[in-house]
Every structure is written in C-alpha cells, then in structure tokens.
Amino acid sequence: MPASANDKDVLLDIGELTAGYGAQPVLHGISLHVARHEFVAVIGANTAGKSTLLRAISGLLPQCKGRIAFDGKDLTKLKAHEIAGLGIAHVPEGRHVFPEMTVEDNLRMGAYARADQAATQQSLERVFELFPRLKERRAQYAGSMSGGEQQMVAVGRGMMLEPKLLILDEPSLGLAPLVVEEMHQRFLDIHRSGVTVLLVEQNVSLALHSAERAYVMSSGSIEIEGSARELLHDDRIRKAYLGI
Amino acid sequence: MTRSNTLSIALPALVVLALIIAPLGLDPFGYTLRILCLMLLFCAMGQAWNIVGGLANQISLGHAAYFGIGAYSSTILFGSLGVSPLIGVFVGMFLAAIFALVLSLPTLRLKGHYFALATLAAGEVARVVANSWTSLTGGPVGISVPYRPDAGFWALQFQTVLPNYYLFLGAMILVSLVFWLVQTSAFGYRLRAIKENETAAEVIGVNTYRVKLHASILSAVLTAMLGTLYAQFQFFFDPDTIFGVATISVKMALIVILGGAGRLYGPWVGAAVIIPLEEMANSYLGNSIAGLSQFAYGVLLIVVILLNPRGLISLFESLRDRLKGRQRA
C-alpha cells in the first residue's frame, strides 16, 4: 500500500498523521492517499475523527504531526488561506455560507483565492449550470434559503475556486432524502468533469455508491481500506454501518 | 437610478446641508454649538470604530487607547516642543498604528467576548500608563493645551467654536467617506466574510488575520486623528477622561450598535440620538442622583437591543419599505 502512495499521480498523500485540538490527539497516525481524478470517501461513526482529518488537511487545525502532501507540496506548515490558494476547496460541515450576502456574492467570494480572476465569470456560469436553482436565486440572501439550497451555495462556492481537490464534509447532514440524492448526483457530475473529490459522509451506503474507493475510520485510525464495491459487500461494514 | 438609491443619496446630502447651515443661527460661543460639535466628533469616532467593529464584528472596547494616544501625542509635542498639532496629529496616528499592530498580535486570534475583554484591558493599560508616567503626561492632574489663538490655524485653535464645528463636520465626512470606500471595496467584502463566517472565509482563501489587522490599524489611525481634534477643542484632559471606558471606548461602540453596526449611516443616527440624550440626562438628572443619567442611558440601550438588534437605522428602513410598498399597491 505505501508503494501506491509514491505513484506519480497521487494528488493528496497523508502519512502517519497525528492531530487534534489540544494536548489530546484525535487522529492517531492516519495514512491515506487520493489519486488524481479519484473519488474517495471516508466513512465511519460520529466522533471517529473524520472532520478533524479534513480540518487538518485544509489547515484549520493548529497542530498536526506527520505528512500531508498535496501535489508534492507540504501542507503541514501552511495556513488555511494559503492551502485554498493551492487549489483545495473545503466545503465545511454545517453549510458555512455567508448568510447576509446574496447567492451570487457568496459564489464570487469563492473565487477569491484564484490567480486568474478573469475566468471567474465562466466558473460562475458553470456553477449555475450545475445548480440551476442558484441562478434563479442569485439575488437572494443565502441565509434565507433552505438547507439544501445553502448546501448548493457552499458546494458552488467551493467550485468557484476551480479546485484540483474538492473536500466535502458531511454534505448530506440534515437534508431531506430527495435532496441528498440530488446532491450526490451533482458530486458525480463534478467528479466526471475532472475534479478529484474527497468525501466524508455518515451515510455509508450513499458514500459507497458514489465513491470509487473508501476508508473506514474508527476512533481516530483507519480500520479498513478498499474499493467501494468491495466494502459494500464486506460483512463487517454491512453489520456495523448498513444494518444488514 | 432607482427610487431608493435617489433617496439614500439625497437624504444624507440634505443632512449634510442642514449641518452646514445649522450653526449660522447659533451663538458662536454657545452651549448648543458645543453639543453639536461633540455630536459630530462622536459620530466620526463611531464611524472609525465601525470599520472594524461594524464590518468585521470585532467588538473592540479599547478604542480609547488610540483616541488618547492621538490626544497626548499632539498635546505633548505642542506643549513642550511647540510642534504644531497639524504635525502632531500625524505622530499620534503613527503611534496609534504601532499600538494597534502590537495589540493585534495576541488579540486578533481571539473571538467574541474574549476579544472584547482583551481590548478592554488594553485600553485600561493605556490609562494606567498615562496616570503613572507623570514626567511625560502630567499624570492624574491632566494636561492642558497651551492657549495661543493668535497663532491661528497653525496652532489649530480658534477664537470661537464655529471653526471647530466645521473642522469636526469635515472630519466626520472624511471618516464616513473612508468607511464607505472600505465598505464597497473588495477589502470590505473580506471584512464582511469574516463577520458572517470566519471559518468559511478561511477556507475560501481569505487571510483573515491580515484583513483584520489592516482594518484595525486603519480604524486606530482615524481614531487617533480625532483624539488630536478633541484635545484642541477641549484644551484640557486627563487620563481618566481620555482613556475612559464608559466615556470613550464603550460610547464609540454604543453609537454604532445603537444606530446600526456595519452601516454607513449607523453612527450618524447613533450619535444624533446618544449625544443629545446624554447631555439632557446630565442636565436634568445629573444633579438629583449621582449616576442616574448613566442608568437611564443603560436602560435605553437595553431597550433598543431588545426591540431591534439591527439598530435604529433599520427602523427607518422598514418604514421606508412600507411606504414604497403602499405606493406600488
């Protein structure tokens, strides 16, 4: 397995990562990699450390030990805004939109860290194509929208960065089943357009149907790793997460 | 141009026009004119605070530190070295920028109440230093600006209150203009992003620390400038008034929050309500029971925050919207 992490087309490479919020680490030596153009899911119960892992990648945790390399660059010393500048769009858990800005302003803010501001308009059109609803609601305040629409804004804002890697943290949390389904279709569209996706999801069945490969986290460590298809038929996972 | 745009330009223009004409009928040495002066000055101070407190929601309760640095810098330079306050004001602004920079290193990573408390403490430190450093500041007895009205504009002193009034009006317009430029720029959007969701601002690539730092320094520099103007207006001040928590720091925040935080005309409304009200409370209640005026003041604030946390200006806006709706119907 470590051999694959040395492959040329590894986009995100995490090795022996230990991180947390204070003296007590939440992550205990995590190793994980995402290849370019891959769709990888991280699944696991609440408190397994999934969000902490994502926060460590995008520089929102003050201390982490170990290796986080993105496109060959070390991320552990960089700040969140610098990491965004490298092309990692993190859609945080809980739909962090700018509530008192319009949908369009929210999206435009997403292009903030980009070097080529001139192409912003094209990205905006693409996001509107992906989520036509946002085009209809472009002048509405993001805070006055439904949960699903706010999640579209958050994902659309991430896409405005034209990211190499899109990180999605629990995007289906608290959304209606129909909206969740629709959302995952869009994630597949995004992946098909050439963006690498790292998804953290409590809805294990959905995650394994969307992703190509998945890691199962438990108590801050990686328990199982494999292709999504394999994991769907893995007895341990069927018992623990799918309830079959 | 839409109707609401015309209104939002025409109304402030009318207010400014009224402010230009207003003092002409008043006694140039009079009490009313002095109140108007203070109203304009505090409006400008509120506007300076609004850049960081309103746009980015960094509730600073230590802005008196910058105000006092401005006042002491120009006064000490003028009193001991004869340097014109027109030059001293820039020294004060520079020192305030340094102070803001140093203060920001530990405080800008703090959020909410922690930031407010840390800045409150910093303002108090400035007051204690000014009280103890007697050789420089004159200590608790205070400091006077040497009276030299013959030196004219060079000394920034005037025979009547009227030139001061127009000076303050100019300062108020200047600071409001700076606020407006910040608010409508990309920098303003970054500040708003921080206010509305700091984590989201971080992950889309906003260097939140640097944005807050720049806003703090700009706000500090403008506040220091107003400190110099205040010193030249009052001719005397001491550490407890110039670095006062209630008299300066909290009042700056109050004016903005009462009027409408993060809004261009918020401090205009806030100052127009608070300063006259405070004067009235002082003159009617001040002699009867000590502290009653402060009490009335506090009650008013609580009532406004409970009824309308977005400030008085939003009351005006909802009224305007209702009128517009009726016209359309």
Pick among B57, B204, B263, B310 to test the A interface (most A CBs inside 10 A): B204
Quick check: is A144 in a domain?
yes
Q: Are residues A83 and A3 in the same domain?
A: yes
For chain B, which residues score pLDDT lower than 50? Answer: 1, 328-329
Segments of chain A assigned E as strands: 10-20, 25-35, 39-44, 63-70, 73-74, 88-91, 165-169, 196-201, 213-218, 221-227
Inter-chain touch B197–A84, beta carbons under 8 Å: no
Q: How many separate domains does chain B show? A: 1
Which DSSP category does A62 fall into? S
Tell me which H or E stretch contains B249.
Answer: none
Quick check: is B21 in a domain?
no
pLDDT (tens digit, 0 to 9) for every residue of chain A, 244 residues total?
444 445 558 999 999 999 888 778 889 999 999 999 999 999 988 888 899 999 999 998 877 889 999 998 999 989 999 999 999 999 998 878 999 999 999 999 998 877 777 788 999 999 999 999 999 999 999 999 999 999 999 999 999 999 999 999 999 888 999 999 999 999 999 999 999 999 999 888 889 999 999 999 988 899 999 999 999 888 888 877 776 6
Write down the pLDDT at residue B305.
74
Inter-chain touch B204–A92, beta carbons under 8 Å: no
> How far apart are alpha carbons B132 and B148 in whole angstroms?
28
CB count in 10 Å sphere of residue B80: 10
The model's pTM is 0.87
Among chain A residues, CA nearest to B196: A98
Write down the pLDDT at residue B327.
54
Is A109 an 8 Å CB contact of chain B?
yes
Give CA angle at B183 (B178, B184), nearest 5°: 105
Pick among B203, B211, B212 to test the A interface (most A CBs inside 10 A): B203
Inter-chain touch B204–A161, beta carbons under 8 Å: yes
Is A101 an 8 Å CB contact of chain B?
yes
Write down the pLDDT at residue A20.
83
CATH number of the CATH domain containing A6? 3.40.50.300
Quick check: is B9 in a domain?
no
Q: How far is B196 from chain A (nearest CA, A)?
A: 5
Q: Are residues A214 and A132 in the same domain?
A: no
Q: Are residues A102 and A2 in the same domain?
A: no
Minimum-distance CB partner of A84 among B189, B190, B204: B204
Quick check: is A31 in a domain?
yes
Contacts of A198 in chain B (CB under 8 A): none
Q: Are residues A224 and A173 in the same domain?
A: yes
Quick check: is A26 in a domain?
yes
Q: Are residues A170 and A53 in the same domain?
A: yes
Domain carrying residue A224: 1-87+165-179+193-244
CATH number of the CATH domain containing B143? 1.10.3470
Quick check: is A141 in a domain?
yes
Q: Are residues A45 and A74 in the same domain?
A: yes
Quick check: is B57 in a domain?
yes
Q: Are residues A118 and A137 in the same domain?
A: yes
Tokens of A137: 């609601």
Write down the pLDDT at residue B3.
53
Cβ within 8 Å of A, B 206-225: 206-208
Is B2 an 8 Å CB contact of chain A?
no
Q: Are residues A6 and A22 in the same domain?
A: yes
Segments of B116-251 assigned E as strands: 143-144, 236-237
Quick check: is A184 in a domain?
no
Long-range (24+ apart) CB contacts under 8 A made by B18-26 are: B19/B169, B20/B166, B20/B169, B23/B162, B23/B165
Q: How far is B263 from chain A (nearest CA, A)?
A: 13
Q: Are residues A2 and A75 in the same domain?
A: yes
Write down the pLDDT at residue B278.
82
ipTM exceeds 0.90, yes or no: no
Task: Report the percentage of chain A scoring pLDDT > 90.
Answer: 64
Quick check: is B230 in a domain?
yes
Q: Are residues A8 and A80 in the same domain?
A: yes
> How far apart are alpha carbons B122 and B116 in whole angstroms?
10
Contact A222, A215 (CB under 8 A): yes
Domain carrying residue B316: 29-328
> How far apart are alpha carbons B33 and B181 in whole angstroms?
30
Q: Are residues A60 and A171 in the same domain?
A: yes
Q: Are residues A136 and A216 in the same domain?
A: no
Contacts of A110 in chain B (CB under 8 A): 204
Quick check: is A66 in a domain?
yes
Q: How many separate domains does chain A show? A: 2
